[in-house]
Structure 1
């Protein structure tokens, strides 16, 4: 079964702008497309359903227009896990697997998303992209991880779940799995 895409887009991006005046997800990339829209576009090209977790109305408007199912996580300030748990709950009972992507990683290729989706569809508990010997993002989770995903707390996202289940490493030729927009200089 094809995973539901989850796009985490509720963070404050304090490393990008410590003052909080500029939302990094709304910043234009070289071609003019906002960071978060580019991140969503890759998911939407491969996955039939993408749930975007937001806090900002401008981000929500853009992602709805792009085709995402948008949900607001009012307590996202309590850590990334809150947004992730919120999205997984929002996907139930229909979803059986999830591909979790970050709204500030607009350069992940569609081929990578397809490869991760295929690995989970073939039965992998967790599928993580690997390039040059390093794991990157996004990561796909099978139904066996549901209880552990719902139990997440804090600001570590799903990193702890990778220690609880076997991880299928999916080799990719995609520098986008490491490229997040955390500083204005990387736009």
Structure 2
């Protein structure tokens, strides 16, 4: 069972005032922090979706894993999720445009998704969710019963998720329409997102 890790880091961060991928956090950039979280969680393949300020992110970030550029990043997070799934599946149809073929795509059974602006989601939280990975699995982190992040999508669901991922909704509508396993992670993680600079001090 091979589970990939996917970081969605393509947004412009308009409310924040800059692309969140470029925001410093604990002596590194948020995008580096997210990629490292997935590495520490044991994800055998990691992919980062970039969009706004992609060239600056690539120049500023060190040791990023595989990256995909989402040309439609300004349409919302859904397009970045589609681009990431397409790269992992080696299927441009999922993205809605020409996507790069990715190596070893056929061996990925599931993907765990992290948002770049949720640095409180820890490697332990990712490990707990990934422990339930399977091609047919849908799993989310749980916070006292509330569904949250990270989110794991088994490969059998990728086409359905991609078809419903529009605007900034990501996989939300698809998950609401299907049975999802919720794994408690609230004791080791916080999925509060960083919307404004003052949230870094919260």
TM range, smaller chain: 0.7 to 0.9
Partner of 1:24: 20
SS of the aligned residue for 1:25 comes to helix
**Aligned residue number for residue 174 of structure 1:** 188
> Which of residues 42, 45, 50 in structure 2 aligns to 1:49?
45
Structure-1 residue corresponding to 2:83: 86
Q: Give 1:160 shift.
A: 1.0
Partner of 1:15: 15
How far did 1:80 drift?
1.1
Paired position in structure 2 for 1:153: 166
Report the equivalent of 2:58. 60
- Which of 82, 102, 109 aligns to 1:96? It is 109
Flag as ranges the 4+ runs of structure 1 deviating above 4 A. Answer: none
Match of 2:141 among 106, 112, 129: 129
Q: What is residue 95 of structure 2 aligned with on the other side? A: none
Structure 1 distance, partners of 2:152, 2:57, is 23
**Deviation for aligned residue 1:149:** 1.9
Match of 1:36 among 31, 38, 52: 31
Q: State how many pairs are aligned.
A: 179
Name the TM-score, length of structure 1 as normaliser: 0.87
Among 136, 139, 153, the alignment partner of 2:151 is 139
Structure 2 unaligned segments of length 5 or more: list them. 90-104
Distance 1:158 1:61, change over 3 A: farther
What's the secondary structure of 2:49's corresponding residue?
strand
1:164 alignment partner in structure 2: 177
Q: Provide the alpha-carbon RMSD of the alignment.
A: 1.7
Q: Distance in 1 between matches of 2:60 and 2:149?
A: 22
In structure 1, runs of 5+ residues without a counterpart are: none
SS of equivalent to 2:5? strand
2:67 and 2:10 map into 1 onto residues whose CA distance is 11
Query: Comparing both chains, which one has the higher relative contact order based on Cα–Cα distances under 8 Å and sequence gaps of 6 or more?
Result: 1
